Structure 1
Amino acid sequence: MSKSHDLPRLAEEMRQRLAAIDGGEQDLKRLEAEAAEKRGAYEAAARKLTEARQAAAERLDAEVRGELEPLRMGGARFITRVTAQPETQWGENGADRIAFEVATNPGATPGPIAKIASGGELSRFMLALKVVLAEVGETPVLVFDEVDRGVGGATADAVGERLQGLARQFQVLVVTHSPQVAARAGHQWLIAKQIGESATTTVTELVEDARREEIARMLSGAEITGEARAAADRLLEGQMA
């Protein structure tokens, strides 16, 4: 048993414990009220962000569709999906998941762009996106690998024109087999591979006559004709205009 002189101390301990219990209940109620208030504020901000994203998605989809037509993908669909996430996935970026979906054939069901689009199609989708988003882009260097695959003539020229426009704001590197695209470049390099005892790749900058000859070769094939050189001159003159 406690000694009599311990009783005041024990009584004080009991009072402190009771006060902590009573205060803890009050703190809990206060914290629950604060949590409910914060949750309401978050949900309101998230709803506002979702509405803004949905409006922006509609504008983006419409502008990308307009860019796809001259890239010979007028029948393709581009869709920005804004999907609500479960509460466990909510975060500082809101309560949505954003994904790009495409359908490259009429009547096809849209699916994730990385799974549906082929290499050339993906490049053109990205080109269309970059053209539309050029004013807000932060990437300093853009690389396109055969963005002109499967197109020629006026379509290839449209691809080149859009790449040239992007190059006014970004460093743009393009791997191409299209003379219409190559002629619009500010600088052109020839990449060649030689197969001997080992494979060797060379990269040669093309200037003046060498560039004209390469553009002509791209137009005519192995035998460079006078007509091909004249056509190369017209392409290069158009690029300089």
Structure 2
Amino acid sequence: MLELKGVSAGYGPVEILRDVSLQVGEAEVVALVGPNGAGKTTLLKTISGLIRATAGNVVYDGQDLTRASAAVIVGAGIAHCPEERKVWSHMSVEENLELGAYLVRDRGAVRRSLQDIYGEFPVLEERRTELAGRLSGGQQQMLAVGRALMSQPKLVLFDEPSLGLSPILIRQIATIVERIHQRGIAVLLVEQNVDLALRLANRAYVLGSGKVVAEDKASSLRANPSLLKAYLG
């Protein structure tokens, strides 16, 4: 479904990613792990069009999206659930969700998606008229996930969904990722909690200093703590 071919990217003259190649199959969960500063967030931003690749290609469902705008990429079926949630705090919960569907022209489909999200996250329906900034961290994470799903994606990019959450909420986030997978949606998961990421994923890549330094089945990487320690500390 998604293939990166020799992708390099960065910020101005600073190159962060160097010749990165990876794949995500249809309805597959792929984890991307690595130490802080390895380029994981930069990679997701490059896929979603927030940063331009300086070399290589981003191909999704047979379509080259390397130079496509973020709006085109969302319309193609890729949703990005960013680090630290980034909800619009001055807008209501429901307004945040509706903005996630800004490219969906069928208003009936938007209403059905809203009810689907509320069924998945009842607390969001209970607080749908409240300002998003008043939600707890865990509720904001649910809102960020719901907003991403409102675009009816085939692939969701998750950036550190467990960041700053309690162990109970981390288990909820794990359940959410599993449910998304069960719905046939592919997931590329960036997660600092390596054990969590490898438990949820089918396959995994290890990123170090902007390069892919290891790739294997997630279960195999999880069973090789010496390899993980060598790359992740």
TM-score (norm 2): 0.38
Structure with bigger strand share is 2
Q: Which has the higher contact order (CA 8 A, sep 6+)?
A: 2
Could you say which structure has the larger radius of gyration?
Answer: 1
